Amino acid sequence: MELLQNIMAAVFYLGDTFGEGLVALSLGFAAKATGIGFLVGAFFMIIFQSVTPVSFQVEGLTVVSRRNNGDWRGMCYTVMLAGLIGALLGAMGVYGAIVNFIGEAIQGGMMVGAGLILAIVSFEMLKENWKIGIVSAGVAYILFIFVPSPDWGLIIALAGSVIAGIIMGRILGEFEPVVSKPEIEKVVLIPRSFKDIKFYVTKPEVIRATLAILALRTGTSIAYGGIDSELLAKVPANPDAVNITSGIASFFSGMFGGANVEPIISATAGAPNPVLSGVLLLVLMGVILLCGLLPKVGKWVPTQSVVGFLLVLSTMIIIPENLPVLLKDPVTGAVAAGVTAAAIDPFLGMVVALIVRAFIGMAG
């Protein structure tokens, strides 16, 4: 019976992972290469006996894509660089010290800012085809509100809003599908030469995006990893192990053109064997991606059909859950949120908030 529960948690949560994968395609990431990252993540979950899966995370995907202005190669180098640095920091065991220095309010502010970024992106997508976007959003909110469990509510809202968007797209007869360019799905090595590497790792957009995703991962590895470990699985949290897993998995994904894979809140953490269930989730999604099934499904899905999912995720989950944390120090928390959202840069939000906190401290 427990084995069946482990399998069911992984299979059912595939719906959420699949939906966020469609968002990754819409932002310009390659699907097949990301499958490598999922399998590497599964391996390190076993090594560390971690209950926190790494997967598509819309906040992180959006930051990497927007900071690089949709430049695919720049996005790949960001994923590799942030992955490598994040894994090294995790191996050094410094995340606990970083989090203690930043403080909960600034972490919460960065997460609220990330939620605001998702809402902004949703409205931008909605403007491109408002009829499909409004139908997707309406169905998503209705389903989420009427499903008692937030976790299952999000999955059902995702499925319902995407299906509604597909139906609306068929009725209208015209829509822009979620597609992945054939040239980025070839799974080839991204670093082509030392000159190529030097050009991208010194590019301002890549550096800014790398710092932004590292700052965001600091918050998510603590917040999401803590929920998976302490709240769902009832085991001690290990943010350093989560960052090593996310970093190395992202590095290998980005090396071949894929997306960053970040810590997520997953229903598998509540399964009888959360490690087994989480590993199964990553292996199943890795195989789906490597087989090229995600882009095939995406051809039938209007881009605006994910608007409802993004809006519900941002306005009903990310922002409300992190707002109380932000309010523990409302001034610095609000600064972190506002700057993160305005600049699409959690790192800048963190730095400005720390400066404001220092000035407040000096003013007494």
Q: Are the C-beta atoms of 309 and 83 separated by less than 8 Å?
A: no
Give start and end residues of each alpha helix (H) in the chain.
2-26, 31-48, 58-67, 72-92, 95-102, 104-128, 130-146, 150-172, 194-201, 204-226, 239-255, 274-290, 293-298, 307-312, 319-326, 330-343, 346-363
Scored b (16 or more CB within 10 A) or e, 216-237 reads bbbbbbbbbbbbbbeebbeeeb
- Confidence class for position 73, pLDDT limits 50, 70, 90: very high
Q: Which two tokens stand for residue 51?
A: 């209950």
Q: Bigger pLDDT: 67 or 250?
A: 250
Residue 203 has pLDDT above 90, yes or no: yes
Residue range 122-171, pLDDT digits in tens: 888 888 788 998 999 999 999 999 887 766 777 788 778 888 988 998 88
Entry pTM: 0.82
> What is the spatial distance between Cα 252 and Cα 142, in angstroms, rounded to a whole number?
39
CA distance 114 to 63: 8
Q: What pLDDT band is residue 364 in, cutting at 50, 70 and 90? A: low
Task: Please tell me the distance from the alpha carbon of residue 205 to that of residue 79, in angstroms, as a whole number.
Answer: 12
- 107: which 2 tokens? 């972490």
Distance CA 274, CA 268 (A): 5
The overall average pLDDT reported for the chain is: 87
DSSP states along 214-238: HHHHHHHHHHHHHIIIIIII-S---
Q: Output the CA–CA distances (angstroms, integers) from residue 133 to 76, 144, 165, 264, 344, in the order listed.
A: 29, 16, 7, 25, 22
Which residue pairs, CB below 8 angstroms and at least 24 apart, start in 87-90? 87/243, 87/244, 87/246, 87/247, 87/248, 87/251, 88/247, 89/214, 89/243, 89/247, 90/239, 90/240, 90/241, 90/242, 90/243, 90/244, 90/247
State pLDDT tens for residues 232-285: 788 888 888 999 999 999 999 999 999 999 998 777 887 889 999 999 999 999
Q: Tell me which residue has tokens 């991204």.
A: 190
Both structure tokens of 110: 């960065």
The values of phi and psi at residue 263, to 5°, are: -60, 140
| Residue listed under structure tokens 């409205």 | 123
